């Protein structure tokens, strides 16, 4: 017996006896246990008991002996497996063509999760997707107009790229400036609604008048009509004067002069009226200039007299030349027009205007 | 010896040939293939090779399932589920262990799942085959055993009867994993290393499980001689 084998005691051997009995110890361990059991009756008895127990358990009938003693169950199992393999091997055409088959199988196996997911899906669909889709539809996809409530300031690029799709007027409730609705076709179609006093609205209308070549005459006339109420504004007045001088369409020039009626006492306006009177090629414009000038020369007391009624009204009282030196220029221009204008109607209208103004000594 | 009709049909199904001779040759050649070649053949999609693999191992698989589940319907479920898993995952088998070990890993996992599910449902416990020595059913069972195995030594039958009843009770005290380890060691004859491979654990862990299982059984079967 080696020194190592002598050192093995009962505590070392006891845990190994289970494995010794079922032949799961190494050769070295087996020798140690054999050597120890030869000298230790207690361990030898425990080893014998362990071996006996395991032999008895192995020898005892097992459930499998009882449950499938005839082998019928094994045959059944083989048959069922073959059928299952047939199902697996068959081309699952329906599964391939059935949309979301995997999802339905997954849901069938997890009903609680499926219910929760469906509820979540419904919430997301209702609160996020549908509003998003509606916003997308009402955007510029169909070229429909969008109401702008926040009034972002219009940039020059936007103005340069815009087209006027429509312009509507409606009388305001407080008898002030009429409400205007402008439909703009730009990169983002929009509708501007408001009175001429709104800065954006005035900005757009002025832009149209100043850049008449980009817009058709009908739009320009509508814009001039809208701006009439704001003719005392410096920016609007300059735009109206420019239109009266430069617009290619005589109807637009006439409308511009008409729109300046409220501001006709202004020097710039009066000069523009005189220029139209003397240099405009269209007799209708010149006649309109005469009408507006006559109206502008009336006294404050008679300012309420309608210009259309000027022909019928008696002589109006003029400001003295000391009070308003431009009056002299107007009278002189009318006198020249009375004799030299190529249009007979203009000559007659000028003469009538001079009579209306009254006899006057021209210096 | 003529081959059964299913064998011919199986070979023909596999599409290897259209003739009976070719089908016959196919089945014969499969039966002579070693485990590795058979698995490789089955991995190519050969249904016949897979069926041959099943026939080589399914008897042990069913026996393990019956011993653990103790109910034929449960054992049948385990059998089917395990082999279908093998069929679906055979292409993943990389020969890093023996096919037998890989198969047992699947089977034991399926058994553990079933046992755990059963433990979670107390009303679904397996019937005790031998809940008492004096019950009528037990007597009937051993009467039938005696008839079926007339050559069995009567004394040994009696000892087996007593031991079986007590073992059945004692086995119920084991955890599912301890029961599987004990079953695979003593009734399937596997080495501890192979059991560890099959269960995806170390030999040392299996040793501990077996030691605990044996200690519990010895406690339950105290005085058994």
Of B58, B145, B221, the CB nearest to A61: B145
Q: State the pLDDT at residue A151.
A: 52
On whether the CB atoms of residues B169 and B201 are closer than 8 A, the answer is no
List CB contacts (< 8 A) between B161 and chain A: 61
Helix%, strand%, coil% for chain A, nearest 5: 65, 5, 25
Greatest alpha-carbon span in chain A = 162
Q: What is the pLDDT of residues A8-39, one digit of tens each?
A: 788 888 888 889 988 888 899 899 899 898 88
Task: Please report, rounded to a whole number, the percentage of residues in chain B having pLDDT higher than 90.
Answer: 25
Task: Please report, rounded to a whole number, the percentage of residues in chain A having pLDDT higher than 90.
Answer: 2
Q: How many domains does one find in chain A?
A: 2
Q: State the pLDDT at residue A103.
A: 80
Half-sphere exposure of A327 (CA within 13 A, CB side): 20
Residue A283, domain member (yes or no): yes
Q: Say whether pLDDT at A358 is over 60.
A: yes
Measured on CA atoms in the order A9, A14, A15, A16, is the torsion positive or negative? positive
Q: Say whether pLDDT at A58 is over 90.
A: no
Residue A224, domain member (yes or no): no
Q: What is the pLDDT of residues A133-188, one digit of tens each?
A: 877 665 554 555 545 444 556 677 777 777 776 777 666 555 566 777 777 776 66
Give B149's contacts (C-beta < 8 A, 6+ positions apart): none
**Closest of B81, B102, B53, B74 to residue B176, by C-alpha:** B74
Q: Say whether pLDDT at B81 is over 90.
A: yes
- Burial class of B143 by CB neighbour count within 10 A (0 to 12, 13 to 18, 19+): exposed
Q: Say whether pLDDT at A363 is over 60.
A: no
- Burial class of A226 by CB neighbour count within 10 A (0 to 12, 13 to 18, 19+): buried
Q: State the pLDDT at residue B124.
A: 61
Pseudo-torsion of CA A21, B190, B112, B224, nearest 10°?
A: -30
Instruction: Assess A62–B contact: CB distance below 8 Å, yes or no.
Output: yes
ipTM of the complex: 0.70
Q: Say whether pLDDT at B3 is over 50.
A: no
Q: What is the pLDDT of residues A278-333, one digit of tens each?
A: 888 888 888 888 888 887 776 444 544 444 444 444 444 455 555 566 777 788 88
pTM of the predicted structure, to 2 decimals: 0.45
Instruction: Assess A59–B contact: CB distance below 8 Å, yes or no.
Output: yes
User: Does residue B168 sit in helix, strand or coil?
Assistant: helix
Give dist(CA A84, CA A76) in Å, integer: 12
Q: State the pLDDT at residue A49.
A: 86
Looking at per-residue pLDDT, the higher value among A360 and A43 belongs to A43
Q: What is the pLDDT of residues A119-144, one digit of tens each?
A: 999 998 888 888 888 776 655 545 55
Give dist(CA A51, CA A17) in Å, integer: 9
Q: State the pLDDT at residue B11.
A: 42
Q: State the pLDDT at residue A18.
A: 87
Residue A343, domain member (yes or no): yes
Give dist(CA A332, CA A313) in Å, integer: 21
List, in order of start, the domains of chain B with CATH numbers: 56-126 (1.10.1740.10)
Instruction: Assess B173–A contact: CB distance below 8 Å, yes or no.
Output: no
Other beta carbons within 10 angstroms of residue A351's beta carbon come to 15
**CA-derived radius of gyration, chain A:** 54
Q: State the pLDDT at residue A98.
A: 65
Instruction: Answer yes or no: do B84 and A88 touch at CB < 8 A.
Output: yes
Looking at per-residue pLDDT, the higher value among A8 and A4 belongs to A8
A128-137, A216-225, B124-133: segment of lowest average pLDDT? B124-133
Q: Say whether pLDDT at A233 is over 90.
A: no
**CA-derived radius of gyration, chain B:** 21
Residues 80-139 in B contacting A (C-alpha not used; CB under 8 Å): 80, 83-84, 87-88, 129
Q: Say whether pLDDT at B106 is over 90.
A: yes
Instruction: Assess A73–B contact: CB distance below 8 Å, yes or no.
Output: yes
Q: Say whether pLDDT at B80 is over 90.
A: yes
Distant-in-sequence contacts of B140-146, Cβ < 8 A, 24+ apart = B141/A66, B145/A61, B145/A65, B145/A66
Q: Say whether pLDDT at B20 is over 60.
A: no
On whether the CB atoms of residues A355 and A314 are closer than 8 A, the answer is no
- Least Cα separation, residue A142 to chain B (angstroms): 53
Instruction: Answer yes or no: do A78 and B54 touch at CB < 8 A.
Output: yes
Q: State the pLDDT at residue B107.
A: 92
Give dist(CA A330, CA A336) in Å, integer: 10
Q: State the pLDDT at residue B206.
A: 92
Q: Where are the alpha helices (DSSP H) in chain B?
A: 5-13, 20-31, 35-43, 47-69, 72-89, 99-120, 136-148, 154-171, 176-182, 192-199, 203-220
List CB contacts (< 8 A) between B215 and chain A: 18
Q: State the pLDDT at residue B76.
A: 93
Residue A76, domain member (yes or no): no
Q: State the pLDDT at residue A106.
A: 83
Of A42, A59, A76, the domain-final residue: A59
Of A20, A43, A59, the domain-final residue: A59
Of A12, A29, A59, the domain-final residue: A59
- Residue ranges making up the domain that contains A33: 3-59
Q: State the pLDDT at residue B15.
A: 43
Q: State the pLDDT at residue A8.
A: 78
On whether the CB atoms of residues B148 and B140 are closer than 8 A, the answer is no
Instruction: Assess A77–B contact: CB distance below 8 Å, yes or no.
Output: yes
User: Does residue B223 sit in helix, strand or coil?
Assistant: coil
Task: Please report, rounded to a whole number, the percentage of residues in chain A having pLDDT higher than 70.
Answer: 76
Instruction: Answer yes or no: do B58 and A60 touch at CB < 8 A.
Output: no
Q: State the pLDDT at residue B19.
A: 46
Q: State the pLDDT at residue A96.
A: 54
Of A54, A56, A74, the CB nearest to B58: A74
Question: How would residue B61 be classed by pLDDT, with cut points 50, 70 and 90?
Answer: very high
Phi then psi dihedrals of residue B50, to 5 deg: -65, -40
Residue A107, domain member (yes or no): no
The residue-averaged pLDDT of A111-115 equals: 88
Q: State the pLDDT at residue B148.
A: 42
Mean pLDDT score of chain A: 76
Residue A332, domain member (yes or no): yes
Using H for helix, E for strand and C for coil, what is the string for A10-74? HHHHHHHHHHHHCCCCCHHHHHHHHHHHHHCHHHHHHHHHHHHHHHHHHHCCCHHHHHCCCCHHH
Q: What is the pLDDT of residues B165-181, one digit of tens each?
A: 777 788 888 888 898 89
Q: State the pLDDT at residue A333.
A: 83
Q: How many residues does chain A have?
A: 363
Give dist(CA B148, CA B140) in Å, integer: 12
On whether the CB atoms of residues B30 and B52 are closer than 8 A, the answer is yes
Give dist(CA B214, CA B170) in Å, integer: 10
Question: How would residue B205 be classed by pLDDT, with cut points 50, 70 and 90?
Answer: very high
């Amino acid at each position: 017996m080696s020194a190592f084998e002598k050192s093995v005691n009962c505590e070392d051997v006891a845990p190994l006896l289970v494995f010794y009995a079922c032949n799961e110890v190494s050769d070295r361990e087996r020798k140690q246990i054999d050597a120890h059991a030869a000298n230790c009756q207690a361990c030898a008895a425990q080893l014998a008991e362990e071996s006996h127990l395991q032999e008895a358990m192995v020898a005892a009938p097992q459930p499998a002996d009882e449950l499938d003693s005839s082998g019928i169950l094994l045959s059944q199992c083989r048959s069922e497996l073959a059928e299952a393999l047939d199902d697996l091997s068959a081309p699952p055409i329906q599964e391939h063509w059935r949309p979301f088959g995997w999802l339905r199988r997954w849901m069938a196996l997890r009903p609680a999760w499926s219910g929760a997911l469906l509820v979540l899906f419904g919430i997301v669909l209702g609160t996020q997707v549908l509003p998003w889709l509606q916003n997308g539809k009402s955007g510029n996809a169909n070229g429909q107009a969008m109401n702008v409530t926040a009034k972002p300031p219009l940039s020059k690029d936007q103005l340069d790229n815009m087209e006027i799709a429509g312009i509507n007027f409606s009388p305001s409730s407080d008898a002030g400036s009429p409400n205007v609705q402008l439909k703009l076709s730009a990169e983002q179609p929009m509708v501007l609604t408001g009175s001429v006093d709104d800065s954006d609205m005035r900005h757009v209308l002025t832009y149209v008048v100043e850049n008449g070549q980009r817009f058709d005459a009908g739009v320009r006339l509508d814009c001039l009509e809208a701006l009439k109420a704001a003719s005392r504004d410096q920016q609007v007045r300059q735009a109206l004067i420019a239109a009266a001088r430069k617009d290619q369409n005589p109807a637009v020039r006439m409308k511009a002069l008409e729109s300046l009626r409220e501001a006709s006492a202004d020097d710039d306006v009066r000069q523009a009226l005189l220029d139209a009177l003397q240099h405009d090629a269209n007799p209708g414009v010149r006649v309109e200039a005469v009408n507006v000038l006559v109206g502008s020369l009336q006294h404050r007391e008679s300012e309420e007299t309608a210009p259309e009624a000027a022909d019928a009204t008696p002589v109006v009282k003029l400001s003295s030349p000391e009070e308003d030196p431009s009056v002299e220029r107007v009278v002189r221009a009318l006198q020249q027009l009375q004799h030299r204008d190529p249009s007979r109607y203009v000559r007659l209208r000028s003469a009538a205007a001079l009579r209306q103004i009254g006899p006057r000594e021209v210096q | 010896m003529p081959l059964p009709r299913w064998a011919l049909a199986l070979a023909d199904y596999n599409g290897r040939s259209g003739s009976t001779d070719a089908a016959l040759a196919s089945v014969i050649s499969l039966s002579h293939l070693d485990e590795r070649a058979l698995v490789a053949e089955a991995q190519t999609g050969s249904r016949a090779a897979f069926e041959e693999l099943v026939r080589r191992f399914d008897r042990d698989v069913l026996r393990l399932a019956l011993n653990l589940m103790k109910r034929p319907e449960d054992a049948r479920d385990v059998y089917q589920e395990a082999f279908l898993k093998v069929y679906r995952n055979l292409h993943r088998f990389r020969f890093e262990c023996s096919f037998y070990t890989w198969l047992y890993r699947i089977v034991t996992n399926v058994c553990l799942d079933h046992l755990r599910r059963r433990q979670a449902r107390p009303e679904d416990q397996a019937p005790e085959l031998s809940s008492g020595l004096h019950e009528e059913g037990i007597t009937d069972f051993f009467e039938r055993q005696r008839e079926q195995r007339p050559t069995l030594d009567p004394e040994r039958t009696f000892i087996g009867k007593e031991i079986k009843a007590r073992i059945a009770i004692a086995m119920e005290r084991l955890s599912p994993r301890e029961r599987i380890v004990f079953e695979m060691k003593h009734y399937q004859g596997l080495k501890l290393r192979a059991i560890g491979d099959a269960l995806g654990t170390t030999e040392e862990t299996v040793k501990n499980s077996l030691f605990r299982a044996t200690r519990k059984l010895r406690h339950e079967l105290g005085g058994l001689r």
